[in-house]
Structures are given as C-alpha cells and as structure tokens.
Amino acid sequence: MDRAALFDVDGTLVDSNHLHVVAWWEAFRQNGHRVPAHAVHRAIGLPGEQLIDHLLGRSRDRSDDDRLGAAHDTLYSTFFERLQAFGGAGELLRALAGDGWKVVLVTSAQDRELDALRRAVDADDALTDTSTADDVEKGKPASDPIEHALSLVGVPAGRAVFVGDSVWDMKAARRAHVVCAGLLCGGIPRADLTEAGAAAVYDDPADLLTHLHTSPFRTVGRRTT
C-alpha cells in the first residue's frame, strides 16, 4: 500500500522563518501596528489572514489587511534569491522517495514564493505533488491542507507522516489523524511541539535523516493496513 511523506516547507526544509518574522514585523510597523517580533515568530506557519487575526484580533479594522499582506510579500520577496535549505533537506526527501514514499509539500506559500522555496530545496525530482493554501478553504491549524495532500496521492491518514516546525503544523496533523514529527530548526521549543502533538522531535532535516530507521516513518512504513 502507498505511503505519504508530507512536509511543511518554511522553517522545516528552508531556513526562512526569521525572514518572515522581519517581513511581517516591518509590514506591521509601516501600517502603524506595534507587534513584538517574538509574537510574530509564534504566529509563523499560519496563512496570512489567519496570522493577522492571531496578532491583531478578529475584531480589528480589516481595511489594512490587503496593505499588510502586500507589504509582507514585497519585503519577503527581496530574500528569494538568498533562501537556503537546511542541511540534509533535499537528501531527506530523496531518501524517502527512493524508499517508495510519495513526497508532498504542504505549505501556505503561493506562486513565486513557492517557486523560490522549491529552488532552495532543489529536490523536485523527489516530489509527487504540492498542496498550498490556495487549494483549501482553511489553512493550518485546520486539517484541510493535510487532508487535501492525502487526497492528491490517494493515501489514507494511517499511512502518512507529516513533518513540520510549528505548533500549527502539529495541530493540523493531529486533527487529520496523521502521525507528525517536529523539527526544532524553525525556532519553536521542543516542549511546545510535543504538547501540540509531535510523536517525535528532531533538530533539523539532517537529524531526521540520520534517525529515519527509528523515526515515525519506520513505524508507519511497517503498517499493512
């Protein structure tokens, strides 16, 4: 039976979380909002509208939302050509693909941003498909992005592992009934990832690659149903 290896991208495969923090922090500042950088960091991983909701509140004046999003996108795009994948990211995806896993990226990134992230990872040959926020009604931490990714490759939740770096990733996987592994390279503490549902936590893609034989991929890969 097919198996699916699902991966978040920002902060999981690519060292981009803190660049998003800077871009959002400056976008808020330009539009008259004082939001601490640490609060922005905790919100990274949410789709743009949900991130703004989380940081400014749902009852806010939403007339600035388009400007906030556009400012972030413009600022973040200046980093596209300098994005770097974490060590072992491409090798990890290729190792799983070579072992028969269907590898799917599950991300809130869109269009040019996703293209830049994929160039940084440089492992398109290992990918089966991608699932973006544009494909679903609700982004993470709702289960929709993961459920859509599973539908793309025809794999049941019990035959999948999701890897991410944020509590939103862990919560989405748990709601989709998918085993999840957390990575610390996005900057979120181990305890937070574990509390949110991570079955195991690793330093970064290279660490997970080293421990694949004892990771959730090993457990899920052995299931026959």
Amino acid at 68: L
Spatial separation of the C-alpha atoms in residues 40 and 52, rounded to whole Å:
9
Q: What pLDDT is attached to residue 225? A: 52
pLDDT in tens, 23-73: 999 999 999 999 999 999 999 999 888 999 999 998 888 888 999 999 999
For residue 188, give the DSSP letter.
-
Report yes or no: 123 and 34 within 8 Å, Cβ to Cβ.
Answer: no
pLDDT in tens, 59-115: 888 888 999 999 999 999 999 999 999 999 999 999 999 999 999 999 988 878 999
Which residues, in sequence order, are bridge partners of residue 132? 107
Non-local CB neighbours of 206 within 8 Å, separated by 6+ positions: 86, 87, 88, 91, 92
pTM above 0.85, yes or no: yes
Q: CATH topology for 17-78? A: DNA polymerase; domain 1 (1.10.150)
Report yes or no: 11 and 140 within 8 Å, Cβ to Cβ.
Answer: no
Q: Residues of 156-172 as b/e, b for ≥16 C-beta within 10 angstroms? A: ebebbbbbbbbbbbbbb
Q: What pLDDT is attached to residue 136? A: 87
pLDDT cut 70: percent of the chain above it: 99
- Domain boundaries in the chain? 3-15+84-221, 17-78
Backbone torsions φ then ψ of 138, nearest 5 degrees: -125, 135
Q: Check: CATH 3.40.50.1000 for 3-15+84-221? A: yes
